[in-house]
Structure formats: C-alpha cells, structure tokens
Structure 1
Amino acid sequence: MRVTIARRHFYFHANEVEQAMNGVTPEPAVTGMSVDIGGVRYPIMQVGAVITRQDRRDFNAGEVQRAMQALGFPIHTTSG
C-alpha cells in the first residue's frame, strides 16, 4: 500500500512493518498515540522513525497514524 509520510511516498505491506518492528524494544509511551504491531504496543513516532528511517522532526504523528490505520493496525490514544 502506498502511504505518504513527510511528503515522501512509501510502499508498505503490514507484514513488512511487522518485520521492521520485530525485536525493537518499545520506548515508554507516557502520552500520545501508540500502535499495536505483532502484539506489542509502540509509540507512533517510534514506528514512523523505524519504518521510514527518517528523523522524527521530519514527520508528525498524524501522518504515521493514517498510514498504520490504512495498513490495519489498531491505534490507541494515551493521555497523561
């Protein structure tokens, strides 16, 4: 599926995202959005950084959220 993050187009399948995140230790998510990938909950910005290999300052959480929802991953919102 084609997704746009930080004005760049990426082509991902859900299994590719799962493979990229496999073995990655989730950062503590105090507030904000998180996504379940392979039974593990990751902060949305961490996922964006891993799958795009871009600096987190180059994209926002909404872009990654839309991409992960389009790929069928559940999104959660945490408030602190």
Structure 2
Amino acid sequence: MRCVIARFPFDFVASEVEALMANVKPEPATGPCVVIGRRTYPVKQVGEIITRQDRRDFTALEVTRALRRLGFTCVNQAAPAPAPAPAVGDLLG
C-alpha cells in the first residue's frame, strides 16, 4: 500500500513491517503505540525503522494512519502511574 510519510512516498505491506520489527525490542510504550504480533511498540520507533528516517522528520499521526491502513491495531498508551507515597505511619514503624 502506498502512503506518504514526511513528504516521501512508501509502499508498505503488513508482512514486511512484521518482518522488520520481528527482532526489535520495544521501547517503553507511552503515547501512540501499535501492536505488532504480541508486542506493543511506540509508533515513532516503528516509523523510524520502516522508513529509515529520523523520528523528528515525521509525526506519530502519519505513521499511525499508515499502520492502521495496513490492518495493525493502534492504541494510545498512558504513561505508567507513579508509585504511591508511603503513609506517615509506615515510615515511623
């Protein structure tokens, strides 16, 4: 499927994206993410690998649109909640 990312045309096939990402360890997932196989990747990480462009050259929305058109599930991961602070009674023993 043809799509344009950062003003450059690309022809992507879902199986090629899966093959490119097969041996890539996902970065911590926050913000827009895509599920490829059993892993969840930030869309910027996937975009960098499949386009071979710097992440600053494209937006997450451009990559998300392309990946959705290929049939991948895109989600918005929230940042993990901070650990609760210990109660004052717990600190005093």
Shift >3 Å, 4+ stretches: none
Aligned twin of 1:68: 67
Equivalenced residues, count: 79
Aligned twin of 2:14: 14
Aligned twin of 1:23: 23
Residue 26 of structure 1: SS of its match in structure 2? coil
- Shift of residue 79 of structure 1? 2.4
Q: Which amino acid aligns with 2:51?
A: T
Higher-Rg member (1/2): 2
Q: Whose RCO is larger (CA < 8 A, sep 6+)?
A: 1
Aligned twin of 1:79: 78
* Structure 1 residue runs without a partner (length 5+): none
State the distance in 2 between where 1:7 and 1:14 align. 21
* Structure 2 residue runs without a partner (length 5+): 80-93
Question: What is the alpha-carbon root mean square deviation over aligned residues?
Answer: 0.7
TM-score (norm 1): 0.95
Percent sequence identity is: 56
TM-score (norm 2): 0.82
Alignment of 1:40-59 (within 5 A): 40-59=39-58
